[in-house]
A and B are shown apart, each in its own frame.
Chain A
């Protein structure tokens, strides 16, 4: 039996409202509630709810032969709780079947792993706790934001206790090798790696409704045939994708839900394949080779690198400015600041500032609420300026040592004057 590992990314950012420089210091609420609510509801209706229904139907029908894997970011979970509680309920029903694995990741879909190991760890913990609370599930496998991976990240992930990580089957990693095996990290051999088969994954996610594609229309029969043509020695196929593929990027009327239902059915009926979760395929199969990755990769664009998020001076300035306060934020107990710290780390904000779309574009445009990367940067930096001021004020307040008023007459023998400090004294 060979395995297919179907993994879906679910994520929503808290989009920022139009925040002008004259709001700095005057207004500390940064989010476009209307847009966030509108988009969350739209995608719930178009994608999350109907797609979950299809998956639930398949699980009910095929039992243990059909399993799937999800990652749901903390910010997405918060939005569901706030705007579309029925999505949470729907995921809970899926979780209850026992055929669903939830992955660990950063709470706010951040790039913290590239810059701040302590914050990276904190966010993963916060996300684990959220998954545990909602779905009574403890993640054991890890996926990083946008499948960003490197030797250094492998070390951090292993240290947090995860033995399995998902990433992109990028050409620069694999060379001539096939993504259809389990690998391990060359720098940290105890970490198993599952690599995305981008050819087959992208057939579904990008090309499904492209009429100029020579294989259009993509039918379940065709897709099953392709899977059957995969070399018999290859043990698994990792189909990793954005969950919004279903009903949002590929529209319902293009037949994507029919496809999502039909291709697993037909594949299971061949009796050569089963659907397994990420942890199961890693357990079932021996890793075949080590993968060395000195420079970070991701699943984005042709380059499969970080340039969509950290590819120009705007993005680098925004990114480094934000993490300058990570030390203060590590011990911050202020709920509002903590929320903003999480939300502002969401990598989508950096993505909006990508200037690659001047040449490489449609996908970037699709996700972008801003007209130009310059507008995105401007708005983010205004928000960030306000946030940084607040963090600074917070740190100063913490550092202040409130001294109890001295008694008017200091009588010796009375209890000693105590110095109180809320936080670290600098």
Chain B
């Protein structure tokens, strides 16, 4: 399997999904060899989260993970690959951090593989280099199926297929259109298209994504199969001490503050709710390129006293945030799947999600609204805060629903796909 991130070093849903899926696959007796490019250097917050080596050690010693790690081979490839960063931003970062990166990365890299390569100066070069790594692994390991997650790894997947002749499955967690809207990067699009065209099967995380793959990448519908994501059962049984220090109800947005997550719709809805009911606080947790704009918008609407920005939250703080929340909102403009509502539901928080999210396809006990319909969004939030039976039913039904979305079942479907190729 070619991926790009793995818990606990995750920047988004992809790492969580890969982790859940591999765990599910292990239950079905599949041996997984997971290849992850590892970014070295201190180029950004995001990258630091990927490479914190001490955390990996903790993970290895944790009994929960020991079984897991004993069954899979985990490889790290020195690389500057960074998820959720476009080629342009990447170039900037590489320029800034070139020296340190090269030094450290080369050492790791050359120890493991006889590549003398330097880091590429742009992301495309890097992807190509990762493909060479893929080919080299394919030539030196035993395996039956190649499974590549998202576009950065597709070239590696294709190269591995060419060397080994083994079937290739590519997994679309997000398309370029989800990340960038209509201002998509043509090179990225081309890598995605080529990867899917060369693949024997394409797995999409929702029918929403499947339709994009078929309509906009013109991939043969017969080989595109939807396998909805799932959610891991809670690892901890004890409830998080969610001491709220405010008496108002809390409504939460949690995610990257970027165009595709629809943060501005959350703010507009917040304003409508606050006009009627001042006993509510809104929280926007996360960071992103639109954060400053959002802060300005909140100030302009004069709701800053009831609207809070937390910055990036991680690990336990995320759980605590969910535990404190009375309503969770995911107003995504375009969301291939969207795992965070499931995490909220697992914490018994009722959720409002946009109909433009893949996760809406698998959930009944949630409030579904169009992302642009801020009236409906405000209404759903207000209803969950004020109508008890609605809140109770959404929470009860939702918890049951989310407990039935198991990675084991999702992995079963993936195994079926593998078997159809062998």
A residues neighboring B (CB under 8 Å) = 18, 20-22, 24, 312-314, 316-317, 355, 358, 371-372, 374-375, 377-379, 381-382
Complexed CA–CA distance, A379 and B380 (Å) = 9
The reply to whether B367 and A21 form a contact with Cβ atoms under 8 Å apart is no
The reply to whether B364 and A372 form a contact with Cβ atoms under 8 Å apart is yes
Complexed CA–CA distance, A381 and B387 (Å) = 8
Contacts of A22 in B (CB 8 A): 272, 275-276, 375, 378
Contacts of B379 in A (CB 8 A): 20-21, 378-379, 382
The reply to whether A377 and B387 form a contact with Cβ atoms under 8 Å apart is yes
For the complex, is B390 an interface residue (Cβ under 8 Å from A)?
A: yes
The reply to whether A21 and B378 form a contact with Cβ atoms under 8 Å apart is yes
Q: Mark B377-405, 1 if CB is under 8 A from A, else 0.
A: 01110110011111011100100000000
Contacts of A379 in B (CB 8 A): 379
Partner of A317 from the list B276, B376, B382, B388 (CB cut-off 8 Å) is B388
The reply to whether B387 and A378 form a contact with Cβ atoms under 8 Å apart is yes
Complexed CA–CA distance, A20 and B378 (Å) = 8
Looking at the assembled complex, report how far the CB atom of A363 sits from the nearest CB atom of chain B, in whole angstroms.
18
The reply to whether B368 and A372 form a contact with Cβ atoms under 8 Å apart is yes
The reply to whether B382 and A21 form a contact with Cβ atoms under 8 Å apart is yes
The reply to whether A313 and B382 form a contact with Cβ atoms under 8 Å apart is no
Contacts of A378 in B (CB 8 A): 367, 379-380, 383, 387, 390
Given contacts A372-B364, A378-B380, 18 further A-B contacts (CB under 8 A): A21-B379, A21-B383, A21-B386, A22-B276, A22-B375, A22-B378, A24-B276, A312-B393, A313-B392, A317-B387, A317-B389, A355-B393, A374-B383, A375-B367, A377-B383, A377-B390, A378-B367, A381-B383
Looking at the assembled complex, report how far the CB atom of A19 sits from the nearest CB atom of chain B, in whole angstroms.
9
Contacts of A316 in B (CB 8 A): 389
Complexed CA–CA distance, A374 and B383 (Å) = 9
Complexed CA–CA distance, A377 and B394 (Å) = 12
Complexed CA–CA distance, A278 and B383 (Å) = 45
The reply to whether B389 and A314 form a contact with Cβ atoms under 8 Å apart is yes
Looking at the assembled complex, report how far the CB atom of B385 sits from the nearest CB atom of chain A, in whole angstroms.
10
Complexed CA–CA distance, A28 and B394 (Å) = 28
The reply to whether A314 and B390 form a contact with Cβ atoms under 8 Å apart is yes
The reply to whether B389 and A20 form a contact with Cβ atoms under 8 Å apart is no
Contacts of B364 in A (CB 8 A): 358, 372
The residue among A312, A313, A355, A374 with the most chain B CB atoms within 10 A of its own CB is A374
Contacts of B393 in A (CB 8 A): 312-314, 355, 374
Contacts of B366 in A (CB 8 A): 374
B residues neighboring A (CB under 8 Å) = 272, 275-276, 364-368, 375-376, 378-380, 382-383, 386-390, 392-394, 397
Looking at the assembled complex, report how far the CB atom of A104 sits from the nearest CB atom of chain B, in whole angstroms.
33
Looking at the assembled complex, report how far the CB atom of B317 sits from the nearest CB atom of chain A, in whole angstroms.
30
Looking at the assembled complex, report how far the CB atom of B345 sits from the nearest CB atom of chain A, in whole angstroms.
14
Complexed CA–CA distance, A378 and B368 (Å) = 12
Complexed CA–CA distance, A372 and B51 (Å) = 44
In the complex, 28 of the A-B residue pairs with CB atoms within 8 angstroms, ordered by the A residue number, are A18-B376, A20-B379, A21-B379, A22-B272, A22-B375, A313-B389, A313-B392, A314-B389, A317-B388, A317-B389, A358-B364, A372-B364, A372-B367, A374-B366, A374-B367, A374-B380, A374-B383, A374-B390, A374-B393, A375-B367, A377-B387, A377-B389, A378-B367, A378-B387, A378-B390, A379-B379, A381-B390, A382-B383
CB nearest neighbor in A for B385: A21
Looking at the assembled complex, report how far the CB atom of B284 sits from the nearest CB atom of chain A, in whole angstroms.
22
Looking at the assembled complex, report how far the CB atom of B375 sits from the nearest CB atom of chain A, in whole angstroms.
5
CB nearest neighbor in A for B387: A381
Complexed CA–CA distance, A371 and B387 (Å) = 19
Looking at the assembled complex, report how far the CB atom of A302 sits from the nearest CB atom of chain B, in whole angstroms.
20
The reply to whether B394 and A374 form a contact with Cβ atoms under 8 Å apart is yes
Partner of A371 from the list B368, B382, B388 (CB cut-off 8 Å) is B368
Looking at the assembled complex, report how far the CB atom of A314 sits from the nearest CB atom of chain B, in whole angstroms.
5
Complexed CA–CA distance, A54 and B83 (Å) = 69
Contacts of B368 in A (CB 8 A): 371-372
Complexed CA–CA distance, A381 and B390 (Å) = 10
Contacts of B388 in A (CB 8 A): 317
Complexed CA–CA distance, A371 and B360 (Å) = 12
Complexed CA–CA distance, A382 and B379 (Å) = 9
Complexed CA–CA distance, A106 and B184 (Å) = 60
Looking at the assembled complex, report how far the CB atom of A268 sits from the nearest CB atom of chain B, in whole angstroms.
49
Complexed CA–CA distance, A18 and B380 (Å) = 12
The residue among B367, B382, B387, B390 with the most chain A CB atoms within 10 A of its own CB is B387
Looking at the assembled complex, report how far the CB atom of B74 sits from the nearest CB atom of chain A, in whole angstroms.
41
Looking at the assembled complex, report how far the CB atom of A315 sits from the nearest CB atom of chain B, in whole angstroms.
9
Contacts of A371 in B (CB 8 A): 368
The reply to whether B375 and A20 form a contact with Cβ atoms under 8 Å apart is yes
CB nearest neighbor in B for A373: B393
The residue among A24, A317, A379 with the most chain B CB atoms within 10 A of its own CB is A317
Contacts of A374 in B (CB 8 A): 365-367, 380, 383, 390, 393-394
CB nearest neighbor in B for A315: B389
The residue among B276, B380, B389 with the most chain A CB atoms within 10 A of its own CB is B389
Complexed CA–CA distance, A355 and B275 (Å) = 32
Looking at the assembled complex, report how far the CB atom of B357 sits from the nearest CB atom of chain A, in whole angstroms.
15
Looking at the assembled complex, report how far the CB atom of B364 sits from the nearest CB atom of chain A, in whole angstroms.
5
Complexed CA–CA distance, A265 and B383 (Å) = 55
Contacts of B382 in A (CB 8 A): 21
Contacts of A381 in B (CB 8 A): 383, 387, 390
Looking at the assembled complex, report how far the CB atom of B243 sits from the nearest CB atom of chain A, in whole angstroms.
29
Contacts of A24 in B (CB 8 A): 276
Contacts of B272 in A (CB 8 A): 22
Complexed CA–CA distance, A301 and B386 (Å) = 32
Cβ-closest 7 pairs across A and B: A317-B389, A313-B389, A378-B383, A21-B382, A20-B379, A381-B387, A358-B364
Looking at the assembled complex, report how far the CB atom of A354 sits from the nearest CB atom of chain B, in whole angstroms.
12
Looking at the assembled complex, report how far the CB atom of B278 sits from the nearest CB atom of chain A, in whole angstroms.
14
Contacts of A382 in B (CB 8 A): 379, 383
The residue among B275, B382, B390, B394 with the most chain A CB atoms within 10 A of its own CB is B390
The reply to whether A21 and B276 form a contact with Cβ atoms under 8 Å apart is yes
Contacts of A314 in B (CB 8 A): 389-390, 393
CB nearest neighbor in B for A374: B367
Complexed CA–CA distance, A24 and B368 (Å) = 22
Looking at the assembled complex, report how far the CB atom of A64 sits from the nearest CB atom of chain B, in whole angstroms.
53
Looking at the assembled complex, report how far the CB atom of A411 sits from the nearest CB atom of chain B, in whole angstroms.
53
CB nearest neighbor in B for A377: B390
Looking at the assembled complex, report how far the CB atom of A32 sits from the nearest CB atom of chain B, in whole angstroms.
15
Complexed CA–CA distance, A314 and B392 (Å) = 9
Contacts of B276 in A (CB 8 A): 21-22, 24
Complexed CA–CA distance, A381 and B366 (Å) = 17
Contacts of B383 in A (CB 8 A): 21, 374, 377-378, 381-382
Complexed CA–CA distance, A18 and B376 (Å) = 9
Contacts of A372 in B (CB 8 A): 364, 367-368
Complexed CA–CA distance, A22 and B274 (Å) = 10
